[in-house]
A and B are shown apart, each in its own frame.
Chain A
Amino acid sequence: MKQLVILSGKGGTGKTCLTAAFAHLAANGPLAGQVILADADVDAANLELVLQPTLIEQQDFKGGKVAVIDQETCAACGDCQAVCRFDAINYTDGLYVVDPIACDGCAACVYQCPTGSIEMREQLAGKFYFSESRYGPLYHANLLPGQENSGKLVTLVKQRARLQALDEQRELLIVDGPPGIGCPVIAAVSGADLALVVAEPTVSGAHDMRRALETLQHFGVRALVCINKADIFPAGTHQIEAFCRERAIETVGQIPFDLTVASAMVAGEAVTAFQPQSAASLAIRQVWERVSASILEKKP
């Protein structure tokens, strides 16, 4: 079983639309029945909006804990506030109160409280889902707005997806990654055999693509690059290609700017299913051929 992760650095370059199209193409090609999908962008989980799957199973995801002060026994000494490094304890109207949004869950205050008035309470941080989509099983999740531990939830989603893939001896796990390079990205990248970085020929897109590539290199994951909306700024596209050539990173195709991508999203369809002959669909099909060949042939 191989793991492909789709990344970008910058948000909105087309990771999810591409993942959905890959799922569609895989389900209608030689890899039919061989693919499992995981949406690792748990705080903006959009893959289900395109795939519109049937929910099979859901679980609560308990994230970190937060401190709660018992006002009955609190002596209002302020020791808790003094040790809190997260500015999470407010003093208002003679009471010390924990701001659950700011609380990091470290429990430093619990151990400093002379009256033992603070306890840690587990928080519901999100939901984990397993669904069947028309293009195969989908593992996904929803982090409640503002919650922490998105990396842990990503890890849970991927673990479960991986287990099913191994159980059923499926060939490929496709992971739709989050933007950025921080904790959820690192969790999404972990264990991947290949990453596809979806670049955009904009100054921001190129800048963030470099950060994503550096992150992949840091963790020793091989990367391919495709350029989305390639015709919006041809000079930028050439620069990205030159950059990749210099570093021996393979570029696997250019996808033109095409408004059918947005229409497909509104229709709840992968663009390659919605309008198979559109310019974007034809280009994505070629990218998929190269990516799937690259991940399944390359021996680790």
Chain B
Amino acid sequence: MRIVVASGKGGTGKTTVAASLALVAGEAVRFLDCDVEAPNAALFLNPVIKTRQEVGIQLPVVDETLCTYCGRCAEVCEFHAIAVIGKKTLVFPELCHGCGSCTLVCPEKAISERLDVLGVLESGRTPSGIDFAQGVLNVGEPMAVPIIRELKKWDTISLRGEISLEATSALPGRSLRLEERSPRDDIEIRDAPPGASCPVVETLRGADFALLVTEPTPFGLHDLKQVVEIARELGLPAGVVVNRDGIGDNAVEAYCAAANIPILMRIPMERRIAEAIASGQTLIDAAPEYRARFRELLESILARAA
């Protein structure tokens, strides 16, 4: 069961909700922080990081002794990341998507590939026994999606360190396809990035349920609608958590009713909660009455996604 916690708008409480869900999920729960640009879940769950692996994309490397400057590589590259100028073949790493088209079409087999590091995957265990992994995008790198893609391929066995990390290949497209994976009855919680573009889609792909955290304001509603559309396109069941309930207006509630999306939980705006979370406490540590409520939320998600 893979549950993604997403929101559209940033700062609505995704990490707060995702961490709380993981903490009440009991045994066999793993947590993937897919917000690789701003990964924050570790600040609340405090995992002991045991493994670290560089990840990225496969960049072409041209062997000048074999290259005949025919220009076929440049012709097929949709991203203008490789160019032949006179007797020189240039690769522009910041434009490359690592798709391998140039490698495949080179008639001289003059192109090999090397890993271009975009970030790291880190994994470990939290004191409460959650298997934890996060991706961290390197500063200055634009592409978050390849890191999220690799992060999702980590399974609990590798997270527990029983298989050497080198065995989980960093090559794109070499891992098991999602639908070929064996079914699992454990719970995976993915903390999504904000927004509604490709990193959010990559986080949601292959999931079983989208839990959408919003706040009852015009910004919260506008951005919620965007993510609802993505969830629909992917055919994912979805439910909403209204955070900071009591501020703003009732438009989120009206939208959810009209769009037939259940509101599964409401977290009232309480300054003591905001203060506790600011200091790095989890919601269920700051307000223990939420433990039972999150347990109910989890049960409700499991029932809806089944």
CB-CB under 8 A from A243, the residues of chain B are: none
Given the contacts A49-B219, A105-B78, A215-B140, A9 and B38 also touching, CB distance less than 8 Å: yes
Chain A residues with CB under 8 A of B303: none
The stretch of B22-30, B84-92, B196-204 that contacts the partner chain: B196-204
- B10 near A44: Cβ-Cβ < 8 Å: yes
**Is the CB–CB distance between A262 and B278 below 8 Å?**
no
Interface contacts (Cβ under 8 Å), in number, total: 213
Residue contact A148 to B38, C-beta cutoff 8 Å? no
In the assembled complex, the Cα of A219 lies from the Cα of B11 at a distance in Å of 25
Chain A residues with CB under 8 A of B248: 262-263, 265-266
Which B71-100 residues have C-beta < 8 A from chain A?
Answer: 76, 78-79, 97-100
Most chain B CB within a 10 A radius of its CB, from A16, A102, A219: A102
Is the beta-carbon distance between A146 and B142 smaller than 8 angstroms?
no
Q: Which residues of B contact A265 (CB under 8 A)?
A: 217-219, 248
From A68-76, A165-173, A201-209, give the one contacting chain B: A201-209
Looking at the assembled complex, report how far the CB atom of A50 sits from the nearest CB atom of chain B, in whole angstroms.
Answer: 8
Stretch among B60-68, B155-163, B225-233, B293-301 lining the A interface: B225-233
| Residues of chain B within 8 A of A259, CB atoms compared | 247
Pick the contact of A87 from B173, B194, B200 — CB < 8 Å? B173
- CB proximity to B under 8 Å, residues A154-185: 178-185
Cα(A200)–Cα(B275), bound, Å: 12
Q: Which of A78-86, A127-135, A247-255 contacts B (4 or more CB under 8 A)?
A: A78-86
B219 to chain A, nearest CB (A): 5
A179 with B38, Cβ < 8 A, contacts A13-B11, A104-B99, A219-B140 known: yes
Q: Does A33 contact B (CB under 8 A)?
A: no
**Contact at A236–B38, with CB atoms within 8 Å?**
no
Segment with Cβ contacts to B, from A106-114, A278-286, A289-297:
A106-114
Q: How far is the CA of A164 from the CA of B145 in the complex (A)?
A: 34
Give chain A's interface secondary structure class: loop
B15 at interface (Cβ–Cβ under 8 A)?
A: yes
B229 touches A266 (CB 8 A): no
- Residue A147 interfacial (CB < 8 Å): yes
Report how far A247 CA is from B210 CA in the complex, Å: 40
Cβ contact of A46, chosen from B44, B223, B279, cutoff 8 A: B223
B8 interface contact, C-beta 8 A: yes
A201–B278 contact, CB under 8 A? yes
User: Do A107 and B200 touch (CB < 8 A)?
Assistant: no
Evaluate contact between A145 and B233: CB separation under 8 angstroms. Answer: yes
Q: Are A44 and B140 in contact (CB under 8 A)?
A: no
Separation in Å of the A121 CB from the closest CB of chain B? Answer: 13
Q: Number of B residues contacting the other chain (C-beta, 8 Å)?
A: 68
Give chain B residues whose Cβ lies under 8 Å from the Cβ of A10. 10-11, 38, 40
Task: Note all chain A residues with C-beta closer than 8 A to B79.
Answer: 106
Given contacts A49-B219, A87-B178, contact A208 B104 (CB under 8 A): no
Query: Roughly how many angstroms separate A16 CA and B9 CA in the complex, as a whole number?
Result: 11
Determine if A145 and B227 form an interchain contact, defined as CB atoms under 8 angstroms apart.
yes
Q: Is the CB of B37 within 8 A of A146?
A: no
A106 to B78, CA, bound (A): 6
Residue of A nearest to B204 (CB): A146
On whether the beta carbons of A218 and B177 are closer than 8 Å, the reply is no
- Residues in chain A near residue B35, CB distance under 8 A: 180
Given contacts A44-B9, A107-B101, contact A211 B140 (CB under 8 A): no
Give CA–CA (A204, B223) in the complex, Å: 21
Residues of B within 8 A of A208 (CB): 38, 40
- Across the interface, do A44 and B37 meet the contact criterion of CB distance under 8 Å? no
Chain A positions 12-65 with a Cβ under 8 Å from a chain B Cβ: 12-13, 16, 41-46, 49, 64-65
B101–A108 contact, CB under 8 A?
A: yes
Question: How far apart sit A178 and B100, CA to CA, in the bound complex (Å)?
Answer: 30
Give the docked Cα–Cα distance between A37 and B141 (Å). Answer: 26
Q: Told that A41-B195, A207-B38, A265-B248 touch, could you supply 10 new A-B pairs with CB distance under 8 A? A: A10-B10, A44-B219, A101-B234, A104-B97, A105-B78, A107-B76, A107-B99, A145-B227, A203-B279, A266-B248
Binding site for A on B (CB under 8 A): 8-12, 15, 35-38, 40, 43-44, 58, 76, 78-79, 97-101, 104-105, 137, 139-144, 149, 172-173, 177-179, 193-201, 205, 217-219, 222-223, 226-227, 229-230, 233-234, 247-249, 271, 274-275, 277-280
Which 5 A-B pairs have CB atoms at the shortest separation, nearest pair first?
A11-B10, A12-B11, A106-B99, A180-B37, A233-B278
